[in-house]
Chain A
Amino acid sequence: MLVLLRQFRIEWGCPVGLPGGEGEFMHKSLSIDPDKCTGCLQCELACSLEHEGAFNPSKSRIKVITFEAKGRFVPYTCTQCAEAWCLEACPTHAITIDRATGAKMVSDALCVGCKVCTIACPFGTINFNQSTGKVIKCDLCGGDPECSKACPTQAITYVDANWTGLDKMRASAAVADAAAQA
C-alpha cells in the first residue's frame, strides 16, 4: 500500500516540464531551520515509514543531531549536491539523478554494498543498511518529502531550490527596513 502511495505522488508531484523531453525542471530542496527544531523525531518516523514500511528511526534517511550541552537540535540529510561525490565514486553506476526532482537515487539492483559512496560523501548522509546490504539516502520521496510534511514546527520545508535563502532574506529585509524607518 505504501509503495502504491509513492507512485501516485510522483504523478502530482512538483516537476514542471515535459516528461522525457527537453524541458527544464524546477527543482525543490529541503530547507532546514534548526532554530525551529524541537528534536521530536517525527521526521525520522515519517521517513522510515515511507521507505521501510515501519516506524524505525534507525533506518531513517534524515537524522536529528542533538548537541546536548548547547540545547540544539539539527535535522540533517542529503543536500542533493549538483556535482554529487557519491555518484562520481560509485563503481557500479548505481547512483543516478532523478531528472524530475534532482534527487540522487540509489538503484538497489545495481548497488553491491561496497560503501565507497559513504567514504566519498563529505557530509555522511549516505549510509549502509545492514538489513538489505545496500546503501540508503534521501530520495526526496519522489518530490513530496514525508519529513517535511511530518515536521510539527516547519523546521523542515520543501522550497524552490534556487531560493532556499528566501526566508532568511525576508527576515533580514524586515530588520533592515525597521532600521531605515527608525
Chain B
Amino acid sequence: MQITLKLYAALTPFLPAGAHNNQLDVEVSQGMTVGGLLDAYGVPRRLCHLVMHNGFHIPPDKRDARVLSDGDAVAAWPPIAGG
C-alpha cells in the first residue's frame, strides 16, 4: 500500500531520494505502523517530537500501535515552536 511520508525541519535529511516538497509517496507492507515507518526510513525516534497521522497527533507511546491504511500520511518534526 502507499503512504505519504513527510519529514520537516531538521528531519528533512532523512527523506528518501526523490522526495519533493518535503514529502514522498512510499510503498509499505500491510500492517505497517507509524513507528515502524519512521524506523524503516532511519528517522531517529529521539528526534521525532511531533508525529502526525493524517494530521492527528500521535504521542510516542501510541506510535507502535497505530496501524496505517492505504493512502495515509505520516508527518514528523523535531522539537519545534514558533508564533
Direct contact of A and B (CB under 8 A): no
Residues of B in contact with A (beta carbons under 8 Å apart) = none
Residues of A in contact with B (beta carbons under 8 Å apart) = none
